[in-house]
Structures are given as C-alpha cells and as structure tokens.
Amino acid sequence: MPIFDTHAHYDSNSFRADRDEVLSALPAAGVSLVVDPGCDLESSREAIALAERFPHVWAAAGIHPSDCAGTGDAELAVLRDLCGHEKVVAVGEIGLDYYWKDNPPRAFQQQVFRRQIELALELDLPVIVHDREAHGDSLAIALEYPGLRGVFHCFSGSPEMAQALLKRGWYLGFDGPITYKNAQKAPEVAAVTPLERILVETDAPYLTPVPYRGKRNDSRNLPYVLEKLAEWKGVGAEELTRITWENGLRLFSKIRVKE
C-alpha cells in the first residue's frame, strides 16, 4: 500500500545537502504522495518548485503565524497568485502560535489567519492549520466559517476539541509525537476520531518518531506513526495506510494520481 505523507517541509534548509536524493528515494520506499506546505511566501514558492520537479510532491501555500509579521494586502495578493498554481492543493500552513514569546501579537496572528481562511474559501481550497498553545482561539475561528474544509495539523488539543472539529467535517493530523512515551492525550483523541478523518504526517524535518527521535525526520519514518495509530485503532497498519491515503485524496481533492 502506498503511503501519503500529508505534511512535510522538504523546502527546509535541513534538506539542503540531499533534498533531491531524499525526494527521489521516496516512491521506492513506499511513499507515493507528499504535501509540502509553505510557511511564508518564499518557502511556498520553493515548495511549488519541488512540486513542479517531482510528480509525487504537491504543495500548499501559506503564511505561518510565526512568520506573519508584516503580512498585508500585497503579500496576500502574491499568496492568491501562488494558490492558483496547478500543484497547490491547500492554503497552509496557517493558524495561531502562542508558544513563542517573540511571535507577532495574537490579534495580528488572528487577522492574518482569518484572511487566509477567507482566501481558501474563495478559491475552494482546504486549509492546513497550525495550532500551538492556541486551542481556544484556533477552534473558535475555525468554527466561524461554515463550509471551511481542512486539517488541524499535528493535532494537540483535547478530545472535546477534536469532537467539535470532527462534527464540522475537519480532519486531524497525527505525527511522530504519538510514538513518545509522554503522549497522553493522543490515544484519547485517536479514540474519538473516526478512521475516515485521520491523516498521517511527518512534519519533516521535525517531530521524528521513536526509534529515530532526535534525528532529522523524513517521510520514510511514517510507518512508525501508522503502526502506533493502527494499534490504538485496532486495525492493521496496511489497512490504515490505505484509509489515510484515501482520506488525503478526499481532502486535497486537487491531487490527480496517475494510474
């Protein structure tokens, strides 16, 4: 069964030395689809450039809350153009990050988040949401927009928050941290999440699963996430691989896979 890594940053500097090598090796290692989300205009352009060169790579374009300082009409106009590219399948990653003290002010993050959601709705694209230590506001904003489709990437909220999102059709992303010993909420979140709303992500080069925690992450480590989640959900890893592949194609519906 092919694997779909719905969130990996191959435009990151961590892959400077061997980016082409790693990306070229993915299909033979079982990873047949990747979405590479941008974090600002420049990395969105780089993600698109990779998507143009590698058939199994698709891009998302967006401005991350940590990088949203100075975002205004001009930047959003550029973002709109980037989103028109045939291989851009989502607006992301966007959202709220209250963890880093030197991030832009919360009210400004919320404004940029809302404007990018409105762009996604206008262009009929799903969103990829980053929510770090901002659960209440992220949930409230997500629920403000009926008809908005998307994924809460590396979901770290409560089971109750998960249920509120699931009720509105959202997908939840599961990443390497579910393999860590201190993963407490994740099994409860997985328990309330129906199989057809689960996406698996690496967030490469970050969030490397056990047993490679501490090393650079890439999509070839996704089976460790799939195995843990399959165990929690009581299904086979192969079955979950197939289901998450279909889920990814359903959400990122611009993707066309050649038979």
- In the complex, which residues of this chain contact Ni ion (CB under 5 A)? 203
- Describe the strand order of the beta sheet including 198-200 as a list of residue ranges: 3-5, 31-37, 57-61, 88-97, 127-132, 150-152, 171-174, 198-200
Distance of CA 51 to the CA centre of its chain: 16
Residue nearest to Ni ion (CB): 203
Of 112, 59, 120, 123, residue with least CA distance to 91: 120
In whole angstroms, the minimum distance from the beta carbon of 255 to Ni ion comes to 18
Based on CB atoms, which residue is closest to Ni ion, 202 or 233?
202
Q: Residue 146 Cβ, how far from Ni ion at the closest point, in Å?
A: 26
- Given the complex with Ni ion, which of 58 and 233 has the nearer CB atom? 58
Name which of 11 and 203 has its Cβ closer to Ni ion: 203
In the bound complex, what is the minimum distance in angstroms from residue 258's beta carbon to Ni ion? Answer: 27
CB of 74 to Ni ion, least distance (A): 24
- What H or E segment, with its residue span, contains residue 30? none
Q: In the numeric block, which tokens belong to residue 114?
A: 């809302």
3 state SS of 258: coil
Nearer to Ni ion, 95 or 223 (CB): 95
